[in-house]
Structure 1
Amino acid sequence: MSALQGATVLVTGGAGFIGSHLVDVLLDRGAGEVRVLDNLVNGTRRNLEDLDGDGRFALLVGDIRDEDARRAALAGAEIVYHLACLGVRHSLHDPVENHRVNAEGTLAMLGSARDNEVRRFVYVSTSEVFGTAQYAPMDERHPTWPETVYGGSKLAGEAYARAFHRTYGMDSVVVRPFNTYGPRSHFEGDSGEVLPRTIVRLLAGHRPLVYGDGEQTRDFMHVSDTASALAMLGTSSGVAGQTINLGSGTEVTINELCAAVAAAVGRPDLVPEHRDPRPGDVRRLLGDPSVMRSLTGFVPQVDFREGVAELVSWFRSSPVSTTDMLARVEDVNWLARAGTP
């Protein structure tokens, strides 16, 4: 029997893009109860609507910084997946709040998880802790020189998770996903990612926007693969105290991404419009996935171009019009919005 079978699991940030897919996988693999703690700032109830009526699922609307919310969410939990955070572009216009949620919030979650004697704590970090690649592929010992407060705050969370393992013996594992994409990915506001934003623009008949020369590279993994890998790390043996990259080991430039989207949309004439580089932009990311493979046997299943075509189809099937979606895309989504301090 799987160690996940019948377990009580908490996913912070579980109403978000990756978190909601992880919840689906955990339930599919036999978890007894999956709770989500999410303040719905970035996440949405819509991502979890298919779970309405499933007695094994519960959404708790609350903030990880609130002690009462943590206590309620953690009661009886055996496995914790900690994904709740504010993103990279948010950190460019509100670095203090970004730090408070990502670093201080993680420290608070670790303390409460220890008090509740959870069996395993999976801290979901990010490849942004590395900054730009100094060599590639980037293994787990690659230097960490984050370009943004987001990367710095997530690195602080990593340090806390490792410290709780070494100081208190907590069974914690740090995982660094590279660039996840797929259905439910964010295109709007300061959460908007390059791939869904590009899809929305092309579906609306607009050229993609590229900041800089477009030769920046990323290591993309489909969300179904990311969620599957994260689920494995909640129960795999030999991973306690480890820091593990989660990437495909394949490098894609932003120019290549735009070409793949244009082909999937059927608009090869919509070539990129280049603008000034974005502040804090990482130049190169390419992960070395060998540690994850050796510890768990995990191998990604979804080819990038196939995944892009699937995501285009998903956006096309949306009940929201492309015009309405485009209106929610912020071209310069790293600046403070009106009314934002």
Structure 2
Amino acid sequence: MAGRAVLVTGGAGFIGSHLVDALVAAGARVRVLDDFSSGRRENLAAAGTRVEVVEGDVCDERALDHALAGADTVMHLATRCVRLSLSDPEDVHRVNSHGTLRVLLAARRHGARRVVYVSSSEVYGSGVKVPMTEDHPLEPTTVYGATKLAGELYTQAMTRSFGLPTIVVRPFNTYGPRAHFEGVYGEVIPRFTVRLLNGRRPVIFGDGLQTRDFTYVGDTVRGLVAAVSVREATGRVFNLARGEEVTVRRLAELLAKAIDPTLSPEFTEARPADVRRHWADVSRARAELGFEAPVSIEEGLARYVAWFRETYPDPAACLRDEVVRNW
């Protein structure tokens, strides 16, 4: 990666900012394009002056031309989240589908040598054959999942039609430092953590037997860097995950054990269109990218809770704007 000029869209977000840190550490020249609707400038503090920041929308052609000037590699992470697609599906379509096409067209216009499209495990819908390979049926249950799948199809079509070198990666549920706990972007692990640190029971939507393949952010980022580094990966699709199925109920138990074992979860109605089962087969990424995700759910949660305690010494402040039903 040393010396490469890399544009990271959504680079001030949770996963994006960790990717920026890894690229800077590897010697890349990094530029970030972010509209800061969910990303934070403080997420880029570690990279400091070694990263250039362009504030703008991926649907804005001027912003894209500015951000792509001189870039040879594009890593496209900018997105609107799954819960937002339940309340504002049109904006999710605008950013995730139309925005992805805009990024791809701009990358072609500027002669990018490689584009990595960061999709989502949500393109699969619920697992019907597990562990789920990249050839698993694609049956998204939400507008978010459908827009991420549309982005995949645009990405692959740009390769077939115009020879744009692209790669599609499908991260499963990524967690770790900088993950959102607030509002519509709040994810399950940060939300459980905030409630437990405040002496409140974590709230599970549904029966808690739905499963996810929780993957520590450092492992996800290593997979992203591998995808952009391996020339033979062009045109391929890869799952990035720990490769371990964990129920949401077990997740709540593990976090309670780490914070306050007396707090058992409470249950409420299921979230609309929630997938029932996710468990990734990562053998393709292992064989072709050398990918491994060594951080277990127990170790990853311990790291996350330690980071959270240090970063937010007053957890009560994190609970002030909580909305339990955040969609």
Q: Do these two structures clear the TM 0.5 threshold for a shared fold by scoring above it? A: yes
Alignment pair present for 1:180 and 2:144: no
Match of 2:17 among 15, 20, 41: 20
Q: Is the 8 A contact 1:192 1:329 kept in 2?
A: no
Alignment partner, residue 95 of structure 2: 101
- Equivalenced residue count is 327
Q: Is the 8 A contact 2:21 2:46 kept in 1?
A: no
Match of 1:218 among 203, 212, 215: 212
In 1, Cα distance between equivalents of 2:186 and 2:12: 16
Give, in angstroms, the shift of residue 319 of structure 1: 4.1
In 2, Cα distance between equivalents of 1:319 and 1:228: 27
Q: Which runs of 5+ in 2 are unaligned?
A: none
TM value normalised by structure 2 = 0.99
- Give CA deviations for 1:295-331 in whole Å, capped at 9, x if unaligned: 0111112111011011111111124621110123321
Alignment partner, residue 337 of structure 1: none
Match of 1:52 among 45, 48, 53: 48
In 1, Cα distance between equivalents of 2:53 and 2:192: 31
In 2, Cα distance between equivalents of 1:319 and 1:210: 23
TM value normalised by structure 1 = 0.95
Q: Is the 8 A contact 2:11 2:19 kept in 1?
A: yes
Alignment partner, residue 250 of structure 2: 256
Give, in angstroms, the shift of residue 281 of structure 1: 0.5
Alignment partner, residue 60 of structure 2: 66
Structure 1 vs Structure 2: percent identity of aligned residues? Answer: 50
In 1, Cα distance between equivalents of 2:322 and 2:221: 26
Alignment pair present for 1:152 and 2:146: yes
Q: Is the 8 A contact 1:34 1:58 kept in 2?
A: yes
Give, in angstroms, the shift of residue 232 of structure 1: 1.3
Alignment pair present for 1:298 and 2:294: no
Match runs of 1:186-205 below 5 Å: 186-205=180-199
In 1, Cα distance between equivalents of 2:245 and 2:46: 34
Alignment pair present for 1:164 and 2:161: no
Q: Is the 8 A contact 1:173 1:241 kept in 2?
A: yes
Change in CA separation of 1:253 and 1:9 when aligned onto 2, cut-off 3 Å: same
Match of 2:74 among 77, 80, 99: 80
Alignment partner, residue 113 of structure 1: 107
The residue type equivalent to 1:14 in the other structure is G
Give me the CA root mean square deviation.
Answer: 0.8
In 2, Cα distance between equivalents of 1:195 and 1:117: 40
In 2, Cα distance between equivalents of 1:330 and 1:48: 27
Alignment partner, residue 228 of structure 2: 234
Change in CA separation of 1:169 and 1:67 when aligned onto 2, cut-off 3 Å: same
Question: Counterpart of 1:50 in 2: which secondary structure?
Answer: coil
In 2, Cα distance between equivalents of 1:328 and 1:124: 30
In 2, Cα distance between equivalents of 1:293 and 1:319: 36
Question: Counterpart of 2:325 in 1: which secondary structure?
Answer: coil
The residue type equivalent to 2:211 in the other structure is T
